[in-house]
């Protein structure tokens, strides 16, 4: 998981890289909107992390 995705997920929520563009550009390489595939990769990483946590917790 990219450091930018993890930071924003923990500190501000999953949508923060798109509303705090200046900070997002300082944390990771490039901007969170470029290339366009970056938005999909961010969403996939967040969804994978959250769903993995939920399914693991459900099994416990």
Q: Are 5 and 48 in contact (CB under 8 A)?
A: no
pLDDT string in tens for the chain (60-residue length):
788 888 888 889 888 899 999 999 998 888 888 888 989 998 999 999 889 988 877 776
Collect all residues with Cβ–Cβ distance below 8 Å to 17 and sequence separation of at least 6: 4, 5, 8, 24, 32, 42
User: What is the extent of the structural domain holding 7?
Assistant: 3-59
Q: How many domains, in total, are found in the chain?
A: 1
The reported pLDDT for the residue numbered 40 is 92
**Average per-residue pLDDT for the chain:** 86
The reported pLDDT for the residue numbered 44 is 93
pTM of the model: 0.71
């Amino acid at each position: 998981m990219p450091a930018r995705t993890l930071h924003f997920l923990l500190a501000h929520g999953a949508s923060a890289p798109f509303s705090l563009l200046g900070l997002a550009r300082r944390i990771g390489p490039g901007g969170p909107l470029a290339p366009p595939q970056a938005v999909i990769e961010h969403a996939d990483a967040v969804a994978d992390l959250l769903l993995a946590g939920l399914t693991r917790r459900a099994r416990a």
